[in-house]
């Protein structure tokens, strides 16, 4: 098992205002697996993603990635962990506004000893024509493609996607999902995608449903449906 979550618990606030967000999550993701975390708002899926991403710490429990325990990692090691293993795709793209498309992707490339070829990736992402543009000159879809480029250029083991289509229209969303699917297939990264769009579950290998901070249902798809065929 490449990524293993054991009894992850997390709460926010103190005393009377304390809210338990995650109630002991156990989850495993195989290398190259496409896993979708489904759930309504407040179910704890983004918190779980942040803990996996090393941005937030769990109150208890542990995460093992490629055999390494995250709970034993200090700040430096955690940074190294994110650097080596993770790629992040956000709902609102989070591009650096004063860098061009190419430079935003280079921000990711810098972190790897063996990054993908940036020019080739720009072609793959369909951004070659736009490589010298700033983020504010791009459409939402183009920005998200740039964001995906930045995440995958460093060949991460896991691609964490937090509602990557949440701010996009139907067609652009399908385009982006298709891109993530291509990336997953071509580069073999594990993909962990948080979404509340139920239709997306069909393109995943594994679907985990969260409700009130607990895994409510977990199922494995025998046959993945391609992004192009999704309808919602």
Partner 1 sequence: MVRRRNSPLRRRLPRELRDELGKYLVIFVLLVLSIGFVSGFLVADGSMIAAYNESFQLYTVEDGHFLLPRAMNKAQKRAIEGFGVSLFDNFYVDTGLTNGSTLRLFAQRQQVNRACLMKGEFPQRADEIAIDRMYADNNSIALGDQLSDGTQTWTVTGFVALSDYSALFSDNSDTMFDAVKFGVAVVTQEAFSALDRTQLNYCYAWGYQKPPADEAEEHQRSEELMKQLLTEVEMEQYVPRYQNQAIRFTGEDMSGDRAMMLVLLYLMIAIMAFVFGITISSTITREANVIGTLMASGYTRGELLRHYMTLPVWVTLSGALVGNVLGYTVFKELCAAMYYGSYSLPTYVTRWNSEAFVLTTLVPLGMMVLINLAVLVRALALSPLNFLRRDLHPRRRWKAVPLGEFLPFFTRFRLRILFQNASGYAMLLVGILFANLLLMFGLGLPECLDHYQASIETNLLSRYQYILKMPLSAMDEGHKLESVLSMLSFQHAVETENEDAERFTAYTLKTLEGKFRSEDVMVYGMEPDSRYVRVETGEGEVYISSAYADKYQLQIGDRVTLREPYEDTQYQFRVAGVVDYIGALALFLPREEANDCFDLGRSYFSGYFSNTELTDIEEKYIGSVIDLNALTKVSRQLDVSMGSMMNMVDAFAVLIFMVLIYLISKLIIQRNAQSISLVKILGYTSAEVGRLYLWTTSLMVVVFLLSSLPLVYRMLTVLFRDVMMAKMTGWIPLDMGSAVFGKMFALGVGTYALVAALEYRRICQVPMDEALKTVE
Residues that bind partner 1 (CB under 8 A): 50, 53, 55-56, 76, 79-84, 86, 88, 90, 92-100, 102-103, 106-111, 132-137, 150, 162
Of 15 and 97, the one with the shorter C-beta distance to partner 1 is 97
Is the Cα torsion angle 111, 115, 119, 122 positive or negative in sign? negative
CB of 14 to partner 1, least distance (A): 18
Q: Which residues 6+ apart lie within 8 Å of 90 measured at CB?
A: 147, 162, 164
CB of 175 to partner 1, least distance (A): 19
CB of 24 to partner 1, least distance (A): 23
Question: Exposed, middle or buried by CB within 10 Å (0-12, 13-18, 19+), for 167?
Answer: middle
Of 50 and 124, the one with the shorter C-beta distance to partner 1 is 50
Nearest CA-CA partner of 145 in 170, 169, 173 = 173
Q: Residue 35 has which token pair? A: 């896993």
CB of 220 to partner 1, least distance (A): 30
Nearest CA-CA partner of 21 in 29, 32, 13, 33 = 13
Of 34 and 81, the one with the shorter C-beta distance to partner 1 is 81
Of 56 and 218, the one with the shorter C-beta distance to partner 1 is 56
């Amino acid at each position: 098992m490449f990524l293993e979550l054991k009894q992850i618990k997390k709460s926010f606030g103190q005393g009377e205002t304390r809210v338990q967000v995650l109630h002991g999550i156990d989850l495993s993701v195989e290398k190259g697996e496409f896993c979708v975390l489904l759930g309504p708002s407040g179910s704890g899926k983004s918190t779980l993603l942040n803990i996996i991403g090393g941005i937030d710490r769990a109150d208890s429990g542990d995460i093992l990635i490629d055999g390494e325990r995250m709970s034993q990692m200090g700040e430096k090691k955690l940074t190294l962990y994110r650097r080596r293993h993770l790629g992040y795709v956000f709902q609102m793209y989070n591009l650096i506004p004063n860098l061009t498309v190419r430079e935003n992707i280079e921000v990711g490339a810098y972190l790897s000893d063996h990054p993908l070829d940036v020019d080739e990736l720009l072609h793959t992402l369909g951004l070659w024509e736009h490589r010298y543009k700033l983020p504010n000159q791009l459409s939402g879809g183009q920005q998200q493609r740039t964001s995906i480029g930045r995440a995958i250029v460093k060949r991460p083991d896991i691609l964490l996607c937090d509602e990557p289509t949440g701010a996009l229209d139907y067609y652009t969303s399908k385009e982006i999902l298709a891109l993530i699917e291509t990336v997953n297939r071509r580069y073999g990264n594990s993909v962990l995608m948080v979404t509340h769009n139920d239709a997306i579950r069909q393109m995943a290998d594994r679907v985990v449903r969260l409700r009130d901070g607990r895994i409510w249902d977990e199922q494995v798809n025998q046959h993945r449906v391609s992004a192009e065929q999704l309808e919602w």
